[in-house]
Amino acid sequence: MSKRLRTTLALIAAGAAAGSLTLFMAPSADAATTLGASAAASGRYFGTAVAANKLSDSTYVGILNREFNSVTPENEMKIDATEPQQNQFTFTNADRIVNHAAAQGMKVRGHTLAWHSQQPGWMQSMEGSALRSAMLNHVTRVATYYKGKVVTWDVVNEAFADSGGGRRDSNLQRTGNDWIEAAFRAARAADPGAKLCYNDYNIDNWTWAKTQAVYTMVRDFKSRGVPIDCVGLQSHFNSGSPYPGNYRTTLESFAALGVDVQITELDIEGSGQTQATTYGNVVKDCLAVARCNGITVWGIRDSDSWRASGTPLLFDGSGNKKAAYTATLDALNGGTTPPTTPPTTPPTTPPTTPPTSPPPTGTGCSATVTLNSWNTGFTATVRVTAGATQVNGWAVTLTLPSGAAVTNTWNAQNTGTTGAVRFANVSYNGRISAGSSTEFGFQGTGTGPTATPTCVAS
């Protein structure tokens, strides 16, 4: 026996005697080594914007094929590219990307059917009902052409103003406030199988008026049956629009409306460990939200970026992995939350063994609160845990200090907004098996609750 092997065996024996073999554990066998495979392990995709004219660059294509399982044409599906003259459609460059994706088994996000920007000249000079018809015709023709090939469409892009919480003025907006829902209905009719997203920037910070305005529109669309399936957060982060600490709250809040959320154009200006940490945080936030089902970065190498001087991407100009890449991959491999849509009906299988001891007396559930507070408001995450028996419904009562009020709730239904507020389960999270937990949350103005919550099971 060699000396080294003897030493190793001795160490293993010592470790086993100490009750710990941690030292000798190999990295987790299922920690995937590419962005796409790591994201796929939790049912998500990891994509990039792709430019058709770079598909002849072997370094670029090498990274693309190795790392990514979704693509978004960076410019090739925009209105000026696909309908350069009215009613004359050109799909050559977009098809180069779609065909590449198909050959590699990658998904395609279509970007974008209706937008105030990158309109062809003929559309820029249109207004009123003629423009409305031309826009709907464009949506219909392009979505029909790509039926079955584009998994998700950014149907409408950037329709909200940067401040003030209203719509952005544009020729499309001037055709009537209902232009957005008209575009979604036309897209659904053209390709009923595609997921339909509203996509925008600066909707990352939950407290910003623009975020709230988009949230209100999506809530309205869901309540009126306008066909919308997802919200895309572009997430172009830099010093003027930094990654916000409440990003996860934003993702959770949109998701709680019953839509998927996707990070659609991620880039983070900066360098080194600071940039890497932010990338990691963004990925962790997405993984923490079941309905955050995919991330797309807006280019491959820093030199491919529309904001190249900010070096905002995961690979340097030579195609080397940056610290930001490693942080992203590590975060993806740490993810455990599967992106499943909450079931709308409770599971039907009854427990196979009846409880052997009589159910405990008492409330049958307990609740704990985690607060994230700022000067003028807070978000509360409440964990509801079942006792020794399954609960089939629950209600948590929390007392807010005077001056505080609930403004928004997810994964629960509240009665009242001030004082003692009651939060009851919604259809998909009433049943909690013995000892298990579920979470709901709410946002409020003023100071968050400090008193212990009460939980009553039914």
The residue type found at 237 is F
CB atoms < 10 A from the CB of 401, how many? 13
Site string (207-236) toward ligand XIL, x via CB under 6 A: ---------------------------x--
Nearer to ligand XIL, 53 or 407 (CB): 53
Nearer to ligand XIL, 87 or 117 (CB): 117
Q: How far is the CB of 78 from ligand XIL (least distance, A)?
A: 7
Rounded CA-CA distance 322/270 in Å is 12
Binding residues with ligand XIL: total (CB under 6 A): 6
The residue type found at 160 is F
Q: How far is the CB of 430 from ligand XIL (least distance, A)?
A: 40
Nearer to ligand XIL, 306 or 428 (CB): 306
Site string (251-280) toward ligand XIL, x via CB under 6 A: --------------x---------------
Catalytic residue among 76, 158, 252, 269: 158
Rounded CA-CA distance 183/415 in Å is 36
Residue 75 binds to ligand XIL (criterion: CB under 6 A):
yes
Q: How far is the CB of 118 from ligand XIL (least distance, A)?
A: 7
265 is catalytic: yes
Residue 157 binds to ligand XIL (criterion: CB under 6 A):
yes
Strand partners, 378: 373, 444
Rounded CA-CA distance 100/106 in Å is 8
Residue 74 binds to ligand XIL (criterion: CB under 6 A):
yes
- Strands of the sheet containing 420-424, edge to edge, are 413-415, 420-424, 394-399, 454-457
| Nearest residue to ligand XIL on Cβ basis | 306
Catalytic residue among 74, 76, 181, 265: 265
181 is catalytic: no
Q: How far is the CB of 232 from ligand XIL (least distance, A)?
A: 9
Q: How far is the CB of 307 from ligand XIL (least distance, A)?
A: 8
Nearer to ligand XIL, 119 or 389 (CB): 119
Residue 285 binds to ligand XIL (criterion: CB under 6 A):
no
**Strands 377-386 and 365-374, how do they pair?**
antiparallel
Q: How far is the CB of 92 from ligand XIL (least distance, A)?
A: 18
Residue 428 binds to ligand XIL (criterion: CB under 6 A):
no
First to last CA, the chain: 65
Among 306, 371, 405, 434, binds ligand XIL (CB under 6 A): 306
Q: What is the DSSP letter of 176?
A: -
Cβ atoms 439, 382 nearer than 8 A: yes
Residue 202 binds to ligand XIL (criterion: CB under 6 A):
no
Rounded CA-CA distance 71/65 in Å is 10
Residue 72 binds to ligand XIL (criterion: CB under 6 A):
no
Q: How far is the CB of 116 from ligand XIL (least distance, A)?
A: 11
Nearer to ligand XIL, 198 or 423 (CB): 198
Q: How far is the CB of 169 from ligand XIL (least distance, A)?
A: 18
Q: To 10 degrees, the CA torsion angle through 347, 349, 352, 355?
A: 40
Residue 65 binds to ligand XIL (criterion: CB under 6 A):
no
Q: How far is the CB of 264 from ligand XIL (least distance, A)?
A: 8
E strand or H helix at 232, and its extent? strand 230-233
Residue 304 binds to ligand XIL (criterion: CB under 6 A):
no
Nearer to ligand XIL, 124 or 385 (CB): 124
Inter-residue long-range contacts of 126-132, CB under 8 Å, 24+ positions, other chains counted: 126/171, 127/171, 127/174, 127/175, 128/174, 128/175, 129/175, 131/171, 131/172, 131/175, 132/175, 132/176, 132/179, 132/182
**Inter-CA distances, 25 with 18, 22, 31, Å:** 15, 5, 13
Find all residues with CB under 8 Å of 39, minimum gap 6, and list them: 45, 46, 69, 294, 295, 332
Nearer to ligand XIL, 75 or 418 (CB): 75
* Tokens representing residue 414 in the block: 């509240």
**Which of 423, 427, 409, 425 is closest to 342 using CA atoms?**
427
Residue 152 binds to ligand XIL (criterion: CB under 6 A):
no
Residue 238 binds to ligand XIL (criterion: CB under 6 A):
no
Nearer to ligand XIL, 218 or 398 (CB): 218
Residue positions counted in the chain: 458
Q: What is the DSSP letter of 337?
A: -
Nearer to ligand XIL, 74 or 302 (CB): 74
Q: By the criterion CB under 6 A, which residues form the site for ligand XIL?
A: 74-75, 157, 234, 265, 306
Give the catalytic positions in this structure.
Answer: 158, 265
